[in-house]
Chain A
């Protein structure tokens, strides 16, 4: 497949990926769901994922610095990540204590976020793993049927 149609396929695939969420959002706003906690959940998920992914990438930056002989690169990466992280945190928390959800304090909220992230990540991991396996099962079954 040439580059142009490939990009178009990937763009449509990206839209299909968020389509179920968009449909449910539209349905959700017309139902009796409690929508007020949505932004706090988004902000907490954003900050938790940003922090955990940044820690993982910082570790990889140390390996990059060794392989490319660039000793300052991890510190530059850490600085960028920290500046942007602080900016995002200030932006999200500047409107009061809404990020606390059902918890009484910051520490309890951080711990809740970590466990919440584990459960969400497990759900996403299981969904993606099932998709990959289902794709392989169908492709290998096609080969068998053709024989």
Chain B
């Protein structure tokens, strides 16, 4: 009982606070958004520390995994951020010379994530939990690689057909998609530092089931609420059948437009 209370206080309640913080980001008031950011940082930090504070809880293994992969994820996203915002865009934030550095950081992050899986060198973040492979790593890696290959291959096709002169971008995304799919295949036929081929085959199968379950659950909930909204929207008169706005309504609309128009006078 004591352990359950400890887990609730140091893992589940902070997690709920972090979710509340995310939900607050959708509110319009800035004060609530700021409060939400505070909740997210506080709740998220306590949750991430739970593998130290409540190691007896099986769910704490998830925080151990997130902390272990954090350096690789940081390298990936910092690298991509630098590479994107040093390109030829109006909101350029970095010198174009930093672009190769960004790409190098991205490749290093991806390489670190894969090296962690294929080698158990002591200087690498550990993927072990209570002497065994962290079970959440067996969920994260196949889902990540499968999700990345699916989205990249799909994105490669869409980008080629939805824009002009996008062949290079499409080709690079296709290569990266095939690359991540190749890592999945490699795992199916080669043992690595933490998993056997049999374990990995099972975890890939479970990741596929997981992704289809998520898509089905998300799709069904969207359909349900679309039906509820459609029930009200279909009763509304069409735009042609609406009565003209009154002077008072026109003044209100003009006031709203005035308060939202900005920019220079001479534009």
Contact = CB atoms under 8 A, between A and B. Distances in A.
B166 A123 contact: no
28 contacts: A9-B162, A13-B157, A20-B153, A24-B204, A35-B205, A45-B214, A46-B213, A49-B221, A50-B217, A54-B221, A61-B229, A73-B228, A81-B225, A111-B59, A115-B62, A116-B139, A119-B66, A120-B210, A131-B152, A131-B173, A133-B77, A133-B84, A134-B80, A137-B83, A137-B84, A140-B87, A143-B87, A144-B88
Given A17-B154, A48-B217, A73-B229, A32 B201 contact: yes
B151 interface: yes
Interface string A71-91: 001001100110010001000
Contact of A54 (B185, B197, B224): B224
B213 A130 contact: no
A57 B221 contact: yes
B153 to A, nearest CB: 5
Kindly name the residue among B80, B158, B221 whose own CB sees the greatest number of chain A CB atoms within 10 A.
B221
Contacts of B161: 1, 5, 9
Interface of A: 1, 5, 9-10, 12-14, 16-21, 24-25, 27-28, 31-35, 37-39, 41-51, 53-54, 56-57, 59-61, 64, 68, 70, 73, 76-77, 80-81, 84, 88, 111-112, 114-124, 126-131, 133-144, 147
Nearest to B136: A119
Contacts of A129: 77
A5 B161 CA distance: 9
B139 A120 contact: yes
B81 interface: yes
B128 interface: no
B76 interface: yes
Interface of B: 12, 15, 23, 58-59, 62, 65-66, 73, 76-77, 80-81, 83-84, 87-89, 96, 99, 102-103, 136, 139-141, 143-144, 146-155, 157-159, 161-163, 165-166, 168-169, 172-173, 176, 181, 184-185, 188, 197-198, 201-202, 204-214, 216-218, 220-222, 224-225, 227-229, 231-232
A133 B210 contact: no
Kindly name the residue among A20, A111, A139 whose own CB sees the greatest number of chain B CB atoms within 10 A.
A20
Nearest to A124: B147
